[in-house]
Structure 1
Amino acid sequence: MYLKHLKITNFKNIAQFDQDFNRINCFVGNNGVGKTNILDAIHYLSFCKSYFTNSDFDSIKSGEDFFSVSGLCVGNNNIENYCCTLQRTGKKVFKHSDKAYSRHSEHIGKLPSVIITPGDHNLIDGSSETRRKFVDVSISQHDNTYLKTLICHNKALSQRNKLLKDCKSGAALDMVMMQIVEEQIAAYSAAIQQKRKDFFEDFSVPFSRYYSLIAGEGEQVSLDYKTYSGDILSLLQESRDKDLILGFTTKGTHRDDLVFCLNHNPVKTFGSQGQQKTYLLALKLAQFDYLCSKLKTKPLLMIDDIFDKLDFQRVNMLLKLIADKRFGQIFITDTHQSRIEELIDNELRDCTKIFKL
């Protein structure tokens, strides 16, 4: 997949951006000039939402009434045009070749991408929700059925939580509806669990390989998927009394977690800062490989302002890895143009474009 052209209007602090891209694209400039926001605009074209903010309206430039992000993409000998617009007084509209999607979820996977940012440390020290999202985003970009199942599961879970909350507030419990919703959750959960297990089988090998390439031999890494192995319907029924008291669903697939281990110990607790950074890089590069194998195309790779956070050895190894032809189009941000120019190998200069912001 190749993003040939990107046009941005009134997105965050970017009034206008209208440029063609090369295989390797570097955005350099001081903090606050909009480097990260360009990557976030590309992320919008991939996922119909920002990577960094939860509210779409926060992405509209201050003082403006709308934003627009459009991209011309090339893949599988086809040229595709994608455009996302949001009016401050209206709803978000996402179009493919001037035709609006009826559901934004239909677009996921059309422009696959992987993004590496300084905030990725939340994968290790953040909540289980962050780690589940990493898994779900990886699978959803190649498996639309999984995405639909996940959406249906979350909808049914919300319905159960509403029944619990209403009952806690004094309403009578609708047992017929509760049983229907719990059966739905159980069915969706079984499908989700199986897909996640399949993901870890495919993902673990490239993850271990990338960790060894970056850190060297001598350390053993593993991923442990924590999920309930019994019958989900029975679990929901057994937890119902407690859930009625608390007003929400306490157990189920939505509580799954991923434990990152280093030499058989949680990396969150026993890993050094350097080991944790290597772990995160390996996770994201393995995500790239996983998507390549499933999609039979190369996702976009975005690397946001991480060189200041890594030592020279890790930076050098990362750049050697991504310079390999198995990686496709790459977008990098940095505050120092001289560092970018120093790090870019002579063989890559002809396919590299530097944008000074």
Structure 2
Amino acid sequence: MLFLERLHLTHYKSYDSEAFLFSRRINAIVGENGSGKTNLLDAIYFLSLTKSALTSQDALSIRHGADFMVIDGTFRKSDEAFSDSIPASGKASQITVSLPRGQRKVVLQDRKAYERLADHIGRFPVVLIAPDDTDLVRDGSEERRKFIDGVLSQQRPDYLADLLQYNRLLDQRNSLLKQFHERHYTDEDLLEAYSQPLVELSLRLHEQRKAFIASFLPVFQEHYTGLSEGREAVSIAYDSEIVPDDFQREFWLNRHRDVAAQRTTMGIHRDDYLFEIDSYPLKKFGSQGQQKSFVIALKLAQFDLLTREKGFQPILLLDDIFDKLDDRRIAMLLRCMKDGTFGQVFLTDARPERTQALLSDAGIDAGIITIGQK
């Protein structure tokens, strides 16, 4: 079992310098809106995945006016049941993320830097359920790819390594295509040197994505059925232009179009995942409640698959769920907290009395962390 014992933040977003000790089970983070509750969840996410869930620019995580930020925490893995009354045992790992302004971030485990940041991903997995998760439905294909890639990257280090290499080669090939377009000259031997490994990685990543959806779909559908009481059928279709037997040939024939477009117009970076309800697009035909149930089922399926892959439960982060979910969905999550389906949970709420009443009525003991009070 995995849990986060302690956390110290220095110049992280709204925090100057603050330390926290956590319950091994349920942690309710309460405080007024704007007090820093979501930033605390984001720091846990950053500690696990070496990036913020809220912004793609690391520098935005440094407190305004500060020259650096540090997130320092201790994870522990134990074979024992979660109970704050039992002294913690099992292996502890101190993780430190430091970012000086204008420089690259450094991630250390037990004060030793990783050779590659990717080596950290998946060691201390987290699942985040947040108010903006329905962007997965409403936004473009990039958001859906990011979600699936994130799940796969925490599960499989080899997938993450291939994806990072693919993105590097894609950037390099796109830069080369832009140069060819500007100079009205194409060096096809040089272009092939970038194209061949990109094709090989596309085919490998394509197969892993296809296999993942096949294993993910029944778990996701089971969760959705529980949330919706079986009122409708949902599905996820992997939408890719890659046909393995023909892709290498089609990719090469497409090179002149790529030069004209100044970018690579074929590949797994154009994949999408089609969310459907009763065989219709969820984005157009799903109600707000159905869309919420869909994304919660996605995240719960992510939780289940990570638990199965890792052999222990990931940490669950629930941001502002009591304001965004109806009573039935809240009750389902509370049951999972109580019966041990989830391991360590962090949840935020702007109304402490509501949180305490809901947890008390469900028979759940929780550590209450009040943000914004000295």
Decide: shared fold, TM above 0.5: yes
One-letter amino acid matched to 2:4: L
| Paired amino acid for 2:291 | Q
**Could you give the per-residue CA deviations for residues 261-283 of structure 1, whole angstroms, max 9, x where no partner exists?**
11111111100011001101111
CA drift of 1:198 comes to 1.6
Residues 6-36 of structure 1, C-alpha deviation per residue, up to 9 Å, x if partnerless? 1111100111221111111011111110000
- 8 A contact 2:206–2:242 mirrored in 1: no
Amino acid aligned to 1:53: T
2:61 pairs with 1:59:
yes
Kept after mapping to 1: 8 A contact 2:129/2:317: yes
Q: CA deviation at 1:348?
A: 4.7
Instruction: Report the CA distance between 1:324 and its aligned residue.
Output: 2.8
Q: Secondary structure at the match of 1:213?
A: helix
Runs of 4+ in structure 1 over 3 Å off: 345-350
Deviates more, 1:318-327 or 1:200-209: 318-327
Work out which of the residue numbers 59, 69, 73 in structure 1 matches 2:75. 73
Give the one of 127, 135, 145 matched to 2:148: 135
- 1:198 counterpart = 2:177: no
Label 1:154 to 1:232 Cα distance change in 2 as closer, same or farther (>3 A): farther
CA displacement 1:286-341 (0-9 Å, x = unmatched): 11001111111110100111321222222222222343312111000111111111
Q: Which deviates further from its counterpart, 227-236 or 184-193?
A: 227-236
Residue 339 of structure 2 aligns to a residue whose secondary structure is coil
- 1:303 is the counterpart of 2:318: yes
- Name the residue aligned to 2:347: 332
Could you say what secondary structure the match of 1:141 adopts? Answer: helix
Number of residue pairs matched by the alignment: 356
Separation (CA, whole Å) in 2 of partners of 1:38 and 1:240: 47
| Structure 1 residues 228-307: aligned runs within 5 Å | 228-230=241-243, 231-307=246-322
Pick the aligned partner of 1:90 from 93, 99, 103.
103
Query: Is contact 1:8–1:70 with CA below 8 Å preserved after alignment?
Result: yes
Tell me, yes or no, if structure 1 residue 103 matches structure 2 residue 105. no
Q: Do the aligned partners of 1:12 and 1:59 also contact (CA within 8 Å) in 2?
A: yes
Is the 1:108–1:141 contact (alpha carbons within 8 Å) kept by the matching residues of 2?
yes
From 35, 38, 61, the counterpart of 2:40: 38
**How much has 1:199 moved relative to structure 2?**
1.1
Q: In structure 2, what is the Cα distance between the partners aligned to 1:332 and 1:190?
A: 40
Query: Is this contact kept in 2: 1:214–1:318, CA < 8 A?
Result: no
How far residue 172 of structure 1 moved from its aligned partner, in angstroms, is 2.6
Alpha-carbon separation, structure 1, partners of 2:167 and 2:15: 34
**Structure 1 residue 171: Cα displacement:** 5.3
- In structure 1, stretches of 5+ residues that fail to align are none
- TM-score in terms of structure 1 length: 0.96
2:169 to 147, 156, 168: 156
Q: 1:25 aligns with which of 18, 24, 27?
A: 27
* Root-mean-square deviation over aligned CA pairs: 1.4
Match of 1:175 in 2: 188
Amino acid of the structure 2 residue aligned with 1:285 = L
Question: Which segment drifts farther, 267-276 or 17-26?
Answer: 17-26
Match of 2:6 in 1: 5
CA drift at 1:91 = 2.3
Letter in 1 for 2:140: S
Name the SS of the counterpart of 2:155 in structure 1: coil
The reply on whether 1:356 has 2:357 as its aligned counterpart is no
Three-state SS of the structure 1 residue aligned to 2:146 is helix
CA distance in 2, matches of 1:191, 1:121: 29
| 20-29 or 302-311, which deviates more | 302-311
Rounded to whole Å, the distance in 2 between the matches of 1:67 and 1:158 is: 29
1:315 corresponds to: 330
CA distance in 1, matches of 2:361, 2:95: 33
Check whether the contact 1:28–1:334 (CA below 8 A) recurs between aligned residues: yes
- SS across alignment from 2:254: helix
Distance of 1:343 and 1:191 partners within structure 2:
47
Question: Is the contact made by 2:242 and 2:268 (CA closer than 8 Å) also made in structure 1?
Answer: no
Q: Distance in 2 between the 1:256 and 1:326 partners?
A: 33
Q: Is the 8 A contact 2:29 2:348 kept in 1?
A: yes
Taking the aligned partners of 2:107 and 2:224, their CA distance within structure 1 comes to 37
Alignment of 1:108-127 (within 5 A): 108-127=121-140
Deviates more, 1:87-96 or 1:187-196: 87-96
Which consecutive unaligned segments of at least 5 residues does structure 2 have? Answer: 79-89
Using a 3 Å threshold, how does the CA distance of structure 1 residues 173 and 229 change in structure 2: closer, same or farther?
A: closer
Contact 2:335 2:362 (C-alpha < 8 Å) held by counterparts: no
Identity %: 38
Cα distance in 2 for partners of 1:37, 1:239 equals: 45
Give the structure 1 partner of residue 85 of structure 2: none
Q: Conserved in 1, the CA contact under 8 Å of 2:12 and 2:63? A: yes
3-state secondary structure, aligned to 1:169? helix
- Once residues 185 and 312 of structure 2 are traced to their aligned partners in structure 1, the CA distance between those partners, rounded to angstroms, is 53
Check conservation: 1:189, 1:232, Cα contact below 8 A: no
Deviations 1:79-102 (A, max 9, x none): 111000111143211100000112
Contact 1:24 1:331 in 2 (8 A): yes
The answer to which of 305-314 and 102-111 deviates more is 305-314
The more displaced of 24-33 and 227-236 is 227-236
